[in-house]
Chains A and B, each alone.
Chain A
Amino acid sequence: MNTAGLILSALSQGMIYAPMALGVLIAFRVLNTPDLTIDGSFVVGMCVCAVVTIAGYPYLALLCGMAAGALAGLATGLLQTKLRINPILSGILTMTGLYTINYVILGGQSNLYLQRASVNANGVEMQVASDTMYKRFRALMVALSGDRKFDNNLSVLILTALIVAALAALLAVFFYTRPGMAIRATGDNEEMVRSSSINADRARVGGIMISNALVAFSGALLCEQQRYADLNFGNGMLVVGLASVIIGQVFFGRRSVTLGIISAVAGSLIYRLILQIAYKIEMPSYAVKLLSAAIVVLALSLPLVRRLIRERRAEKEVEAP
Protein backbone atom coordinates (compact mmCIF):
# COMPACT_ATOMS: atom_id res chain seq x y z
CA MET A 1 0.00 0.00 0.00
CA ASN A 2 1.25 3.49 -0.75
CA THR A 3 1.55 6.18 1.90
CA ALA A 4 -1.78 7.80 1.07
CA GLY A 5 -3.42 4.41 1.30
CA LEU A 6 -1.85 3.78 4.72
CA ILE A 7 -2.99 7.15 6.02
CA LEU A 8 -6.49 6.57 4.68
CA SER A 9 -6.62 3.18 6.34
CA ALA A 10 -5.41 4.65 9.65
CA LEU A 11 -7.95 7.48 9.52
CA SER A 12 -10.86 5.16 8.74
CA GLN A 13 -9.89 2.96 11.69
CA GLY A 14 -9.49 6.03 13.86
CA MET A 15 -13.00 7.17 12.98
CA ILE A 16 -14.46 3.75 13.74
CA TYR A 17 -12.84 3.81 17.18
CA ALA A 18 -13.74 7.46 17.82
CA PRO A 19 -17.09 6.74 19.53
CA MET A 20 -15.21 4.47 21.91
CA ALA A 21 -12.82 7.29 22.73
CA LEU A 22 -15.89 9.45 23.43
CA GLY A 23 -17.22 6.76 25.75
CA VAL A 24 -13.91 6.64 27.61
CA LEU A 25 -13.92 10.44 27.79
CA ILE A 26 -17.34 10.42 29.46
CA ALA A 27 -16.36 7.75 31.97
CA PHE A 28 -12.87 8.96 32.88
CA ARG A 29 -13.02 12.69 32.31
CA VAL A 30 -16.65 13.74 32.65
CA LEU A 31 -17.81 11.33 35.36
CA ASN A 32 -14.29 11.11 36.74
CA THR A 33 -14.81 7.40 37.46
CA PRO A 34 -12.74 4.57 36.01
CA ASP A 35 -15.00 2.12 34.20
CA LEU A 36 -13.67 -1.26 33.13
CA THR A 37 -16.98 -2.31 31.59
CA ILE A 38 -15.62 -0.81 28.38
CA ASP A 39 -13.64 -3.91 27.34
CA GLY A 40 -16.83 -5.94 27.58
CA SER A 41 -19.29 -3.46 26.13
CA PHE A 42 -17.16 -3.06 23.01
CA VAL A 43 -17.52 -6.78 22.37
CA VAL A 44 -21.20 -6.91 23.22
CA GLY A 45 -21.78 -4.18 20.63
CA MET A 46 -19.85 -6.26 18.14
CA CYS A 47 -21.65 -9.51 18.87
CA VAL A 48 -25.19 -8.13 18.90
CA CYS A 49 -24.46 -6.21 15.71
CA ALA A 50 -23.10 -9.36 14.02
CA VAL A 51 -26.17 -11.43 14.82
CA VAL A 52 -28.65 -8.76 13.71
CA THR A 53 -26.66 -7.99 10.55
CA ILE A 54 -26.64 -11.64 9.57
CA ALA A 55 -30.40 -11.66 10.12
CA GLY A 56 -30.50 -8.99 7.41
CA TYR A 57 -30.85 -5.68 9.27
CA PRO A 58 -27.50 -3.87 9.10
CA TYR A 59 -28.83 -0.48 10.30
CA LEU A 60 -30.97 -1.87 13.10
CA ALA A 61 -27.89 -3.89 14.07
CA LEU A 62 -25.98 -0.72 14.94
CA LEU A 63 -28.78 0.51 17.16
CA CYS A 64 -29.15 -2.90 18.82
CA GLY A 65 -25.41 -3.00 19.48
CA MET A 66 -25.61 0.45 21.03
CA ALA A 67 -28.59 -0.55 23.18
CA ALA A 68 -26.74 -3.64 24.39
CA GLY A 69 -23.85 -1.41 25.47
CA ALA A 70 -26.27 0.86 27.31
CA LEU A 71 -27.64 -2.17 29.16
CA ALA A 72 -24.11 -3.21 30.13
CA GLY A 73 -23.62 0.33 31.42
CA LEU A 74 -26.89 0.10 33.33
CA ALA A 75 -25.62 -3.05 35.06
CA THR A 76 -22.38 -1.36 36.10
CA GLY A 77 -24.22 1.79 37.12
CA LEU A 78 -26.63 -0.10 39.35
CA LEU A 79 -23.77 -2.03 40.95
CA GLN A 80 -22.08 1.28 41.71
CA THR A 81 -25.07 3.23 42.99
CA LYS A 82 -27.56 0.73 44.40
CA LEU A 83 -25.15 -1.82 45.83
CA ARG A 84 -22.34 0.71 46.48
CA ILE A 85 -19.73 -1.58 44.94
CA ASN A 86 -16.41 0.08 44.15
CA PRO A 87 -16.51 1.48 40.57
CA ILE A 88 -13.50 -0.44 39.33
CA LEU A 89 -14.83 -3.71 40.72
CA SER A 90 -18.32 -2.96 39.35
CA GLY A 91 -16.82 -2.65 35.88
CA ILE A 92 -14.77 -5.81 36.22
CA LEU A 93 -17.83 -7.74 37.39
CA THR A 94 -19.96 -6.61 34.45
CA MET A 95 -17.12 -7.22 32.01
CA THR A 96 -16.56 -10.73 33.35
CA GLY A 97 -20.25 -11.56 33.21
CA LEU A 98 -20.49 -10.14 29.71
CA TYR A 99 -18.00 -12.71 28.43
CA THR A 100 -20.55 -15.46 28.97
CA ILE A 101 -23.35 -13.36 27.51
CA ASN A 102 -21.29 -12.54 24.42
CA TYR A 103 -20.46 -16.22 23.98
CA VAL A 104 -24.16 -17.06 24.04
CA ILE A 105 -25.00 -14.22 21.61
CA LEU A 106 -22.46 -15.62 19.16
CA GLY A 107 -24.22 -18.97 19.42
CA GLY A 108 -21.63 -20.76 21.50
CA GLN A 109 -18.55 -19.93 19.49
CA SER A 110 -15.76 -17.46 19.87
CA ASN A 111 -16.15 -15.70 16.54
CA LEU A 112 -18.75 -15.13 13.88
CA TYR A 113 -18.39 -14.06 10.24
CA LEU A 114 -21.04 -11.89 8.64
CA GLN A 115 -22.22 -14.48 6.15
CA ARG A 116 -25.07 -16.84 5.69
CA ALA A 117 -25.40 -20.31 4.15
CA SER A 118 -27.39 -20.18 0.96
CA VAL A 119 -28.11 -22.47 -1.97
CA ASN A 120 -27.23 -21.11 -5.38
CA ALA A 121 -29.03 -21.67 -8.70
CA ASN A 122 -27.11 -24.89 -9.30
CA GLY A 123 -28.23 -26.32 -5.98
CA VAL A 124 -24.76 -25.97 -4.42
CA GLU A 125 -24.60 -24.77 -0.84
CA MET A 126 -22.32 -21.81 -0.33
CA GLN A 127 -21.61 -18.93 2.10
CA VAL A 128 -23.00 -15.56 1.08
CA ALA A 129 -21.58 -12.39 2.63
CA SER A 130 -24.22 -10.45 4.60
CA ASP A 131 -25.21 -7.01 3.48
CA THR A 132 -23.64 -4.30 5.64
CA MET A 133 -23.99 -0.56 5.92
CA TYR A 134 -20.48 -0.09 4.56
CA LYS A 135 -21.16 -2.36 1.59
CA ARG A 136 -24.24 -0.37 0.67
CA PHE A 137 -22.46 2.94 1.08
CA ARG A 138 -19.58 1.80 -1.11
CA ALA A 139 -22.07 0.79 -3.80
CA LEU A 140 -23.54 4.28 -3.51
CA MET A 141 -20.10 5.88 -3.81
CA VAL A 142 -19.31 3.74 -6.85
CA ALA A 143 -22.59 4.76 -8.44
CA LEU A 144 -22.02 8.44 -7.67
CA SER A 145 -18.40 8.58 -8.80
CA GLY A 146 -18.71 6.14 -11.66
CA ASP A 147 -15.40 4.69 -10.46
CA ARG A 148 -15.74 0.94 -10.02
CA LYS A 149 -12.51 0.84 -8.02
CA PHE A 150 -13.60 3.51 -5.54
CA ASP A 151 -11.25 3.13 -2.55
CA ASN A 152 -12.90 1.06 0.14
CA ASN A 153 -11.07 2.80 3.00
CA LEU A 154 -12.11 6.18 1.67
CA SER A 155 -15.71 5.04 1.53
CA VAL A 156 -15.49 3.77 5.12
CA LEU A 157 -13.84 7.00 6.22
CA ILE A 158 -16.47 9.24 4.63
CA LEU A 159 -19.43 7.38 6.07
CA THR A 160 -17.92 6.95 9.53
CA ALA A 161 -16.77 10.56 9.67
CA LEU A 162 -20.32 11.70 8.93
CA ILE A 163 -21.71 9.47 11.67
CA VAL A 164 -19.05 10.50 14.20
CA ALA A 165 -19.54 14.20 13.40
CA ALA A 166 -23.27 13.87 14.03
CA LEU A 167 -22.66 11.91 17.22
CA ALA A 168 -20.09 14.37 18.53
CA ALA A 169 -22.34 17.36 17.79
CA LEU A 170 -25.27 15.68 19.50
CA LEU A 171 -23.13 14.90 22.53
CA ALA A 172 -21.72 18.42 22.73
CA VAL A 173 -25.24 19.86 22.70
CA PHE A 174 -26.46 17.30 25.22
CA PHE A 175 -23.84 18.28 27.78
CA TYR A 176 -25.27 21.79 27.93
CA THR A 177 -28.84 20.65 28.54
CA ARG A 178 -30.05 20.06 32.09
CA PRO A 179 -29.56 16.29 32.20
CA GLY A 180 -26.17 16.67 30.50
CA MET A 181 -25.07 19.31 32.93
CA ALA A 182 -26.23 17.16 35.85
CA ILE A 183 -23.97 14.36 34.56
CA ARG A 184 -21.01 16.73 34.26
CA ALA A 185 -21.62 18.13 37.72
CA THR A 186 -21.92 14.63 39.21
CA GLY A 187 -18.39 13.93 38.02
CA ASP A 188 -17.20 17.24 39.38
CA ASN A 189 -18.86 17.43 42.80
CA GLU A 190 -21.51 14.84 43.55
CA GLU A 191 -22.42 16.30 46.92
CA MET A 192 -23.20 19.65 45.35
CA VAL A 193 -25.47 17.91 42.84
CA ARG A 194 -27.40 16.21 45.63
CA SER A 195 -27.81 19.46 47.52
CA SER A 196 -29.19 20.99 44.32
CA SER A 197 -32.08 18.50 44.63
CA ILE A 198 -30.84 16.41 41.72
CA ASN A 199 -30.74 12.63 41.92
CA ALA A 200 -27.00 12.18 41.46
CA ASP A 201 -27.29 8.40 41.31
CA ARG A 202 -29.58 8.67 38.33
CA ALA A 203 -27.24 11.13 36.62
CA ARG A 204 -24.33 8.77 37.24
CA VAL A 205 -26.13 5.72 35.87
CA GLY A 206 -27.25 7.76 32.85
CA GLY A 207 -23.68 8.84 32.20
CA ILE A 208 -22.32 5.31 32.43
CA MET A 209 -25.05 4.09 30.06
CA ILE A 210 -24.25 6.75 27.46
CA SER A 211 -20.55 6.00 27.80
CA ASN A 212 -20.97 2.28 27.23
CA ALA A 213 -23.52 2.78 24.45
CA LEU A 214 -20.88 4.79 22.58
CA VAL A 215 -18.24 2.14 23.18
CA ALA A 216 -20.59 -0.61 21.96
CA PHE A 217 -21.43 1.50 18.91
CA SER A 218 -17.73 1.50 18.02
CA GLY A 219 -17.74 -2.28 18.33
CA ALA A 220 -20.78 -2.47 16.08
CA LEU A 221 -19.18 -0.22 13.45
CA LEU A 222 -16.00 -2.28 13.50
CA CYS A 223 -18.02 -5.48 13.18
CA GLU A 224 -19.73 -4.24 10.02
CA GLN A 225 -16.49 -2.94 8.59
CA GLN A 226 -14.31 -6.00 9.20
CA ARG A 227 -17.25 -8.35 8.68
CA TYR A 228 -16.76 -10.48 11.76
CA ALA A 229 -17.17 -10.42 15.51
CA ASP A 230 -14.65 -11.87 17.93
CA LEU A 231 -15.12 -12.65 21.60
CA ASN A 232 -11.62 -11.55 22.55
CA PHE A 233 -11.52 -8.34 20.60
CA GLY A 234 -12.18 -6.15 23.62
CA ASN A 235 -9.02 -6.99 25.55
CA GLY A 236 -7.15 -3.79 26.26
CA MET A 237 -9.77 -1.67 24.51
CA LEU A 238 -9.91 0.62 27.55
CA VAL A 239 -6.22 1.44 27.22
CA VAL A 240 -6.69 2.22 23.53
CA GLY A 241 -9.53 4.58 24.43
CA LEU A 242 -7.52 6.21 27.19
CA ALA A 243 -4.55 6.63 24.87
CA SER A 244 -6.82 8.40 22.36
CA VAL A 245 -8.33 10.69 24.99
CA ILE A 246 -4.95 11.58 26.44
CA ILE A 247 -3.28 12.13 23.07
CA GLY A 248 -6.14 14.41 22.13
CA GLN A 249 -5.65 16.36 25.34
CA VAL A 250 -2.00 16.96 24.56
CA PHE A 251 -3.07 18.73 21.36
CA PHE A 252 -6.29 20.44 22.42
CA GLY A 253 -6.16 20.78 26.21
CA ARG A 254 -9.14 19.96 28.38
CA ARG A 255 -10.78 23.26 29.04
CA SER A 256 -14.39 22.48 28.13
CA VAL A 257 -16.53 19.45 27.34
CA THR A 258 -16.84 20.49 23.71
CA LEU A 259 -13.09 20.73 23.39
CA GLY A 260 -12.82 17.37 25.14
CA ILE A 261 -15.16 15.80 22.58
CA ILE A 262 -13.21 17.21 19.65
CA SER A 263 -9.91 16.19 21.19
CA ALA A 264 -11.10 12.61 21.87
CA VAL A 265 -12.04 12.17 18.20
CA ALA A 266 -8.79 13.76 17.05
CA GLY A 267 -6.89 11.63 19.57
CA SER A 268 -8.41 8.47 18.12
CA LEU A 269 -7.27 9.47 14.62
CA ILE A 270 -3.76 10.39 15.78
CA TYR A 271 -3.48 7.17 17.76
CA ARG A 272 -4.20 5.10 14.63
CA LEU A 273 -1.70 7.13 12.66
CA ILE A 274 0.95 6.41 15.30
CA LEU A 275 0.13 2.71 15.08
CA GLN A 276 0.34 2.84 11.28
CA ILE A 277 3.80 4.41 11.51
CA ALA A 278 4.81 1.70 13.95
CA TYR A 279 3.63 -0.99 11.52
CA LYS A 280 5.45 0.77 8.71
CA ILE A 281 8.73 0.45 10.58
CA GLU A 282 7.87 -3.23 10.94
CA MET A 283 6.68 -3.41 14.49
CA PRO A 284 5.07 -6.84 14.93
CA SER A 285 1.31 -6.64 15.46
CA TYR A 286 1.53 -8.29 18.89
CA ALA A 287 3.47 -5.26 20.14
CA VAL A 288 0.43 -3.01 19.77
CA LYS A 289 -0.75 -3.48 23.34
CA LEU A 290 2.62 -2.67 24.82
CA LEU A 291 2.88 0.39 22.62
CA SER A 292 -0.59 1.55 23.68
CA ALA A 293 0.26 1.12 27.34
CA ALA A 294 3.54 2.98 26.83
CA ILE A 295 1.73 5.87 25.12
CA VAL A 296 -0.67 6.17 28.05
CA VAL A 297 2.14 6.09 30.61
CA LEU A 298 4.10 8.64 28.64
CA ALA A 299 1.16 10.98 28.23
CA LEU A 300 0.12 10.66 31.88
CA SER A 301 3.62 11.42 33.12
CA LEU A 302 3.97 14.44 30.88
CA PRO A 303 2.48 17.01 33.31
CA LEU A 304 4.80 15.83 36.11
CA VAL A 305 7.85 15.90 33.87
CA ARG A 306 6.94 19.38 32.67
CA ARG A 307 6.58 20.60 36.25
CA LEU A 308 9.93 19.11 37.26
CA ILE A 309 11.62 20.82 34.34
CA ARG A 310 9.97 24.12 35.26
CA GLU A 311 11.04 23.81 38.87
CA ARG A 312 14.58 22.91 37.87
CA ARG A 313 14.69 25.96 35.65
CA ALA A 314 13.32 28.19 38.42
CA GLU A 315 15.98 26.86 40.80
CA LYS A 316 18.71 27.71 38.32
CA GLU A 317 17.38 31.22 37.90
CA VAL A 318 17.52 31.75 41.65
CA GLU A 319 21.09 30.43 41.82
CA ALA A 320 22.26 32.63 38.98
CA PRO A 321 23.54 36.00 40.20
Chain B
Amino acid sequence: MSSLRLIGLKKTFERGTPNEKLALDNVNLEVEDGDFITVLGSNGAGKSTLFNAILGKFRLDRGRILLGEEDITRQRDFERAYKIGCLYQNPLRGTAPNMTIEENLALAYTRRASKSFFAVNRRDSAYFRELLAELNLGLEDRMKTRMGQLSGGQRQAASLLMATIARPELLLLDEHTAALDPATAEKVQALTERIVAERRLTCLMITHNMQAALTLGTRTIMMHGGRIVYDVKGEERASLTLRDLMDRFRAAAGEELDNDRMLLG
Protein backbone atom coordinates (compact mmCIF):
# COMPACT_ATOMS: atom_id res chain seq x y z
CA MET B 1 0.00 0.00 0.00
CA SER B 2 1.32 3.41 -0.76
CA SER B 3 1.11 5.93 2.02
CA LEU B 4 2.08 9.07 0.12
CA ARG B 5 1.55 9.83 -3.52
CA LEU B 6 2.77 12.97 -5.24
CA ILE B 7 1.28 13.41 -8.69
CA GLY B 8 2.70 15.98 -11.11
CA LEU B 9 3.59 18.63 -8.53
CA LYS B 10 4.46 21.95 -10.07
CA LYS B 11 5.31 25.24 -8.42
CA THR B 12 6.82 28.45 -9.73
CA PHE B 13 7.78 31.15 -7.26
CA GLU B 14 7.54 34.86 -8.13
CA ARG B 15 5.99 34.15 -11.48
CA GLY B 16 6.30 37.01 -13.94
CA THR B 17 9.20 38.71 -12.16
CA PRO B 18 12.91 38.60 -12.96
CA ASN B 19 13.25 36.32 -9.92
CA GLU B 20 10.89 33.73 -11.35
CA LYS B 21 11.97 30.29 -10.24
CA LEU B 22 10.59 26.94 -11.22
CA ALA B 23 10.95 25.23 -7.84
CA LEU B 24 9.03 22.03 -8.49
CA ASP B 25 8.89 20.71 -12.02
CA ASN B 26 6.47 17.84 -12.42
CA VAL B 27 7.44 15.85 -9.34
CA ASN B 28 5.99 12.36 -9.15
CA LEU B 29 6.67 10.08 -6.24
CA GLU B 30 5.00 7.03 -4.81
CA VAL B 31 6.03 6.28 -1.25
CA GLU B 32 5.28 2.84 0.13
CA ASP B 33 4.08 2.31 3.66
CA GLY B 34 7.10 2.03 5.93
CA ASP B 35 9.53 3.46 3.38
CA PHE B 36 12.45 5.43 4.78
CA ILE B 37 13.60 7.63 1.92
CA THR B 38 16.76 9.70 2.02
CA VAL B 39 16.62 12.79 -0.18
CA LEU B 40 19.78 14.17 -1.80
CA GLY B 41 20.38 17.24 -3.93
CA SER B 42 22.42 20.42 -4.03
CA ASN B 43 21.21 23.73 -2.64
CA GLY B 44 18.20 25.00 -4.56
CA ALA B 45 17.38 21.58 -5.98
CA GLY B 46 13.89 21.78 -4.51
CA LYS B 47 14.17 19.43 -1.54
CA SER B 48 12.83 21.80 1.07
CA THR B 49 10.25 23.12 -1.37
CA LEU B 50 9.06 19.56 -1.83
CA PHE B 51 8.70 19.19 1.94
CA ASN B 52 6.87 22.49 2.18
CA ALA B 53 4.50 21.35 -0.56
CA ILE B 54 3.73 18.18 1.37
CA LEU B 55 3.26 20.25 4.54
CA GLY B 56 0.92 22.63 2.74
CA LYS B 57 2.99 25.78 3.30
CA PHE B 58 1.96 27.11 -0.12
CA ARG B 59 -0.53 26.38 -2.89
CA LEU B 60 0.66 24.27 -5.78
CA ASP B 61 0.32 25.49 -9.35
CA ARG B 62 -0.58 21.97 -10.39
CA GLY B 63 -0.57 18.43 -9.05
CA ARG B 64 -2.14 16.42 -6.30
CA ILE B 65 -0.96 15.06 -2.99
CA LEU B 66 -2.52 11.91 -1.56
CA LEU B 67 -1.82 10.78 1.97
CA GLY B 68 -3.14 7.26 2.41
CA GLU B 69 -6.56 7.35 0.79
CA GLU B 70 -7.03 11.04 1.36
CA ASP B 71 -6.45 13.89 -1.08
CA ILE B 72 -4.81 16.58 1.05
CA THR B 73 -3.88 18.93 -1.82
CA ARG B 74 -6.30 21.62 -0.69
CA GLN B 75 -6.03 21.14 3.06
CA ARG B 76 -4.43 23.98 4.96
CA ASP B 77 -1.13 23.34 6.74
CA PHE B 78 -2.55 23.00 10.25
CA GLU B 79 -5.35 20.75 9.01
CA ARG B 80 -2.94 18.15 7.71
CA ALA B 81 -0.33 18.71 10.41
CA TYR B 82 -1.39 15.93 12.73
CA LYS B 83 -0.90 13.37 9.99
CA ILE B 84 2.54 14.74 9.12
CA GLY B 85 5.35 15.45 11.54
CA CYS B 86 8.27 17.63 10.53
CA LEU B 87 11.67 18.43 11.97
CA TYR B 88 13.89 21.23 10.71
CA GLN B 89 17.58 21.97 10.87
CA ASN B 90 17.02 24.77 13.38
CA PRO B 91 16.14 23.21 16.75
CA LEU B 92 14.39 26.46 17.76
CA ARG B 93 11.70 26.05 15.09
CA GLY B 94 9.88 23.15 16.63
CA THR B 95 9.45 24.35 20.21
CA ALA B 96 7.98 27.29 22.13
CA PRO B 97 10.85 28.67 24.28
CA ASN B 98 8.81 30.42 26.97
CA MET B 99 6.59 27.46 27.71
CA THR B 100 7.54 24.44 29.78
CA ILE B 101 8.52 21.09 28.28
CA GLU B 102 5.25 19.68 29.58
CA GLU B 103 3.21 22.45 27.95
CA ASN B 104 5.04 22.05 24.67
CA LEU B 105 4.27 18.34 24.60
CA ALA B 106 0.66 18.94 25.64
CA LEU B 107 0.28 21.37 22.77
CA ALA B 108 1.75 18.97 20.23
CA TYR B 109 -0.53 16.28 21.63
CA THR B 110 -3.67 18.43 21.21
CA ARG B 111 -5.36 16.15 18.71
CA ARG B 112 -4.92 13.01 20.81
CA ALA B 113 -5.13 14.47 24.31
CA SER B 114 -7.44 13.26 27.05
CA LYS B 115 -10.35 15.58 27.67
CA SER B 116 -9.60 17.89 30.59
CA PHE B 117 -10.31 21.44 31.71
CA PHE B 118 -6.66 22.42 31.90
CA ALA B 119 -4.41 21.70 28.96
CA VAL B 120 -1.88 19.87 31.09
CA ASN B 121 -3.45 16.91 32.82
CA ARG B 122 -2.12 14.08 34.93
CA ARG B 123 -2.82 11.20 32.59
CA ASP B 124 -1.13 12.80 29.59
CA SER B 125 1.76 14.04 31.71
CA ALA B 126 2.45 10.52 32.92
CA TYR B 127 2.63 9.45 29.28
CA PHE B 128 4.92 12.37 28.42
CA ARG B 129 7.19 11.42 31.30
CA GLU B 130 7.52 7.90 29.92
CA LEU B 131 8.35 9.20 26.46
CA LEU B 132 10.89 11.68 27.82
CA ALA B 133 12.52 8.95 29.92
CA GLU B 134 13.10 6.95 26.74
CA LEU B 135 15.24 9.80 25.38
CA ASN B 136 17.78 9.18 28.19
CA LEU B 137 18.45 12.89 28.53
CA GLY B 138 17.04 13.31 32.01
CA LEU B 139 14.29 15.53 30.68
CA GLU B 140 11.60 13.53 32.48
CA ASP B 141 12.62 15.24 35.71
CA ARG B 142 12.55 18.70 34.16
CA MET B 143 9.04 18.81 32.78
CA LYS B 144 8.36 22.19 34.39
CA THR B 145 11.53 23.68 32.88
CA ARG B 146 11.11 26.26 30.16
CA MET B 147 12.02 24.90 26.75
CA GLY B 148 14.32 27.88 26.12
CA GLN B 149 16.68 26.69 28.84
CA LEU B 150 17.53 23.44 27.06
CA SER B 151 20.55 22.98 24.80
CA GLY B 152 20.13 22.72 21.05
CA GLY B 153 20.43 18.94 21.11
CA GLN B 154 17.94 18.57 23.93
CA ARG B 155 15.52 20.86 22.14
CA GLN B 156 15.88 18.90 18.91
CA ALA B 157 15.22 15.66 20.79
CA ALA B 158 12.16 17.27 22.35
CA SER B 159 11.10 18.51 18.89
CA LEU B 160 11.42 14.96 17.60
CA LEU B 161 9.14 13.78 20.36
CA MET B 162 6.68 16.56 19.61
CA ALA B 163 6.71 15.82 15.89
CA THR B 164 5.85 12.18 16.48
CA ILE B 165 3.71 12.35 19.63
CA ALA B 166 0.42 12.72 17.77
CA ARG B 167 1.28 9.51 15.89
CA PRO B 168 1.55 10.95 12.37
CA GLU B 169 1.54 8.74 9.29
CA LEU B 170 4.49 10.53 7.78
CA LEU B 171 7.65 12.07 9.22
CA LEU B 172 9.66 14.66 7.31
CA LEU B 173 13.23 15.36 8.44
CA ASP B 174 14.87 18.41 6.87
CA GLU B 175 18.55 18.04 7.80
CA HIS B 176 17.45 17.83 11.38
CA THR B 177 20.88 17.01 12.77
CA ALA B 178 22.91 19.45 10.66
CA ALA B 179 23.02 22.21 13.29
CA LEU B 180 24.13 19.94 16.12
CA ASP B 181 27.64 19.02 17.20
CA PRO B 182 28.78 15.58 15.89
CA ALA B 183 28.20 13.67 19.12
CA THR B 184 24.76 15.18 19.69
CA ALA B 185 23.88 14.74 16.03
CA GLU B 186 24.65 11.05 16.29
CA LYS B 187 22.51 10.73 19.39
CA VAL B 188 19.54 12.52 17.82
CA GLN B 189 19.95 10.47 14.65
CA ALA B 190 19.93 7.20 16.62
CA LEU B 191 16.87 8.42 18.49
CA THR B 192 15.17 9.24 15.22
CA GLU B 193 15.84 5.83 13.78
CA ARG B 194 14.54 4.15 16.90
CA ILE B 195 11.31 6.13 16.92
CA VAL B 196 10.79 5.63 13.20
CA ALA B 197 11.32 1.88 13.59
CA GLU B 198 9.18 1.54 16.71
CA ARG B 199 6.24 3.42 15.25
CA ARG B 200 6.79 2.01 11.76
CA LEU B 201 6.68 5.57 10.43
CA THR B 202 6.97 6.38 6.78
CA CYS B 203 9.82 8.83 6.58
CA LEU B 204 11.52 11.24 4.19
CA MET B 205 14.88 12.63 5.24
CA ILE B 206 16.84 15.37 3.53
CA THR B 207 20.57 15.04 4.04
CA HIS B 208 23.80 16.32 2.54
CA ASN B 209 25.72 13.40 3.90
CA MET B 210 26.02 10.94 1.01
CA GLN B 211 27.27 8.14 3.22
CA ALA B 212 24.26 8.52 5.49
CA ALA B 213 21.99 8.74 2.47
CA LEU B 214 23.12 5.30 1.36
CA THR B 215 23.36 3.50 4.67
CA LEU B 216 20.20 4.86 6.26
CA GLY B 217 16.72 3.96 5.18
CA THR B 218 15.34 1.82 2.40
CA ARG B 219 15.41 4.08 -0.62
CA THR B 220 17.25 7.13 -1.94
CA ILE B 221 16.07 9.86 -4.28
CA MET B 222 18.08 12.68 -5.75
CA MET B 223 16.62 16.01 -6.77
CA HIS B 224 17.87 18.58 -9.21
CA GLY B 225 16.25 21.63 -10.75
CA GLY B 226 12.93 20.86 -9.11
CA ARG B 227 12.79 17.29 -10.41
CA ILE B 228 13.52 13.87 -9.03
CA VAL B 229 16.43 12.78 -11.21
CA TYR B 230 17.39 9.53 -9.54
CA ASP B 231 15.47 7.02 -7.49
CA VAL B 232 17.04 3.84 -6.18
CA LYS B 233 16.03 1.10 -3.76
CA GLY B 234 16.32 -2.60 -3.03
CA GLU B 235 19.24 -4.61 -4.33
CA GLU B 236 20.44 -1.96 -6.70
CA ARG B 237 20.74 0.42 -3.78
CA ALA B 238 22.41 -2.17 -1.61
CA SER B 239 25.17 -2.66 -4.17
CA LEU B 240 25.64 1.05 -4.77
CA THR B 241 28.95 2.55 -3.69
CA LEU B 242 29.58 6.09 -2.61
CA ARG B 243 31.49 6.62 -5.87
CA ASP B 244 28.49 5.45 -7.92
CA LEU B 245 26.30 7.88 -6.07
CA MET B 246 28.78 10.72 -6.61
CA ASP B 247 28.84 9.96 -10.32
CA ARG B 248 25.06 10.00 -10.43
CA PHE B 249 25.06 13.23 -8.55
CA ARG B 250 27.51 14.80 -10.93
CA ALA B 251 25.73 13.52 -13.99
CA ALA B 252 22.47 14.93 -12.73
CA ALA B 253 23.82 18.26 -11.70
CA GLY B 254 26.29 18.68 -14.53
CA GLU B 255 29.20 21.04 -14.51
CA GLU B 256 27.94 23.32 -11.77
CA LEU B 257 28.79 20.78 -9.14
CA ASP B 258 32.53 20.87 -9.51
CA ASN B 259 32.84 22.86 -6.34
CA ASP B 260 30.50 20.65 -4.42
CA ARG B 261 32.48 17.63 -5.53
CA MET B 262 35.55 18.94 -3.86
CA LEU B 263 33.57 19.57 -0.73
CA LEU B 264 32.00 16.17 -0.74
CA GLY B 265 35.06 14.23 -1.83
Contact = CB atoms under 8 A, between A and B. Distances in A.
A192 interface: yes
B179 interface: no
B30 interface: no
B96 A177 contact: no
Nearest to A186: B96
B194 interface: no
A188 B78 contact: no
A27 to B, nearest CB: 16
Interface in A182-216: 182, 184-185, 188-189, 191-200
A163 interface: no
Contact of A181 (B79, B92, B103, B163): B103
Contacts of B104: 192
A312 interface: no
A192 B95 contact: yes
Nearest to A195: B81
Interface in B43-87: 55, 77-79, 81-82, 85-86
A199 B99 contact: no
B94 interface: yes
Contact of B166 (A185, A188, A197): A197
B252 interface: no
A178 B108 contact: no
A198 B99 CA distance: 16
B93 A192 contact: yes
Contacts of A176: 118-120
B98 interface: yes
Nearest to A182: B107
Contact of A198 (B78, B103, B120, B162): B78
A198 B118 contact: no
A292 to B, nearest CB: 27
Contacts of B119: 176-178, 180-181
Contacts of A200: 78
Chain A interface bracket (under 10, 10 to 19, 20 to 34, 35 or more): 20 to 34
A195 B94 contact: yes
Contacts of B110: 178, 182, 196-198
B24 interface: no
Interface string A238-274: 0000000000000000000000000000000000000
Interface string A134-176: 0000000000000000000000000000000000000000001
A196 B111 CA distance: 8
A84 to B, nearest CB: 14
A194 B55 CA distance: 10
B95 A197 contact: no
Contacts of A191: 93
Contacts of A185: 96, 99, 103, 107
B117 interface: yes
A193 to B, nearest CB: 7
B96 A197 contact: no
A276 B230 CA distance: 75
B117 A198 contact: no
Greatest chain B CB density within 10 A among A184, A189, A196 is at A196
Given A177-B118, A185-B99, A198 B107 contact: yes
B106 interface: yes
A177 B119 CA distance: 5
Nearest to B111: A197
Nearest to A184: B99
A230 B81 CA distance: 48
A189 B166 CA distance: 18
A189 B78 contact: no
B97 interface: yes
Given A176-B119, A177-B118, A185-B107, A196 B97 contact: no
A185 B119 CA distance: 12
14 contacts: A178-B113, A178-B119, A181-B99, A181-B103, A181-B119, A192-B96, A194-B81, A195-B81, A195-B85, A195-B94, A195-B163, A196-B78, A196-B166, A197-B81
Given A176-B119, A194-B81, 6 more contacts: A191-B93, A193-B107, A195-B77, A196-B110, A198-B78, A198-B107
> Which 7 A-B pairs rank lowest in CB-CB distance, beginning with the nearest?
A188-B96, A197-B82, A197-B81, A189-B96, A181-B119, A194-B78, A178-B119
